[in-house]
Amino acid sequence: MRIAFQKAHFLLSVASVKQLPPDTGAEIAFAGRSNAGKSSALNTLTQQKSLARTSKTPGRTQLINFFEIDNDRRLVDLPGYGYAKVPEAQKQKWQALIDAYFRKRESLVGLVLLMDIRHPLKPFDEQVIAWAKSCSLPLHILLTKSDKLKYGAAKKTLDEVKRALPSELISVQLFSSLKKTGLDECEQVLSSWMCSNRLGG
Ligand code: GDP
């Protein structure tokens, strides 16, 4: 079954775990360093030009933004992260929020990590990978902007990242919002997570 990602619409933004929407159904969270191409990927997946713009409006960049597909399914845009200029106190607040979200959220069925194919596996990415592992959460990695490299170079990076992360719970693919490369593969992985037993297929 293929999920109708294009039905996604903004639900709410939260600044603390107390404000999370009801923990029912299935949701998939998206994480990535600032500029990794997360907004573009969310817009590509949902076939909408500006869905993820909400997450970039001033005041919302450090919030968890929820998009609802239907009553049982949500996409979750985690705050972008990674510019060195973010103050330490802000980083710690962000980490505490995400950590609490990962640990408590029963409906979280999987995590998508976006990494610019030219700058993979930075410390922030390693931290997200460690989080997913410690929570035994399935992780799907998009190597974004794959159009920026020739196919041979992109494939080499794909193989290197796969080799660096040997785990049944981790999958990796090439992705380009610009060229729509890998969209089908991404939709398949996310649909299979969302149609897991929890929702009865
Ligand atoms: P975010 O900060 O992670 O939400 O990243 P954005 O989606 O805003 O993208 C950051 C920059 O990368 C923007 O200038 C985008 O136009 C560019 N970008 C995003 N996806 C792609 C892609 O698939 N190919 C190329 N060439 N550029 C992209």
How do residues 78-126 score in pLDDT, each as one tens digit?
987 765 567 788 778 888 888 899 989 999 999 999 999 999 999 889 9
User: Measured between alpha carbons, how far is 113 from 98 in angstroms, rounded to an integer?
Assistant: 14
| pLDDT bucket at 200, cuts 50 / 70 / 90 | very low
Q: Which pLDDT does position 68 carry in this prediction?
A: 97
User: Measured between alpha carbons, how far is 87 from 129 in angstroms, rounded to an integer?
Assistant: 23
The 3 state secondary structure assigned to 97-153 is: HHHHHHHHCCCEEEEEEEEECCCCCCHHHHHHHHHHHHCCCCEEEEEECHHHCCHHH
The alpha carbon of 85 and the centre of ligand 1 are apart by a number of angstroms equal to 20
User: Measured between alpha carbons, how far is 61 from 69 in angstroms, rounded to an integer?
Assistant: 21
Its CATH architecture, for the domain 5-194, is 3-Layer(aba) Sandwich (3.40)
Which H or E run contains 28? Answer: strand 26-32
Q: Residue 177: CB within 6 Å of ligand 1? A: yes
The alpha carbon of 144 and the centre of ligand 1 are apart by a number of angstroms equal to 8
Map residue 38 onto helix, strand or coil: helix
Q: Which pLDDT does position 40 carry in this prediction?
A: 96
Task: Tell which residue, 110, 13, 118, has the closest CA to residue 59.
Answer: 13
| pLDDT bucket at 197, cuts 50 / 70 / 90 | low
Q: Residue 74: CB within 6 Å of ligand 1? A: no
Q: Residue 119: CB within 6 Å of ligand 1? A: no
Instruction: Report the range of poorest mean pLDDT among 26-30, 58-62, 95-99, 158-162.
Output: 58-62
Q: Residue 37: CB within 6 Å of ligand 1? A: yes
Residue 71 vs residues 7, 26, 67: alpha-carbon distances, Å? 11, 10, 11
pLDDT at 160 over 50: yes
Tell the residue nearest (CA) to atom 25 of ligand 1.
145
pLDDT at 16 over 70: yes
Task: Tell which residue, 100, 85, 114, 87, has the closest CA to residue 23.
Answer: 100
Percent of the chain with pLDDT over 70: 93
User: How many C-alpha atoms does 49 have within 13 Å on its Cβ side?
Assistant: 0
pTM of the model: 0.94
For a substitution probing ligand 1, which of 34, 39, 40 has the most ligand atoms within 8 Å of its CB? 40
Helix axes 183-194, 38-46, angle to 10 degrees: 80
User: Measured between alpha carbons, how far is 1 from 26 in angstroms, rounded to an integer?
Assistant: 15
Q: Which pLDDT does position 201 carry in this prediction?
A: 41
Instruction: Report the range of poorest mean pLDDT among 8-17, 114-123, 192-201.
Output: 192-201
**What is the chain's mean pLDDT, rounded?**
91
So where are the chain's domains?
A: 5-194
Q: Which pLDDT does position 84 carry in this prediction?
A: 55
User: Measured between alpha carbons, how far is 114 from 31 in angstroms, rounded to an integer?
Assistant: 6
What's the mean pLDDT in 168-183?
A: 97
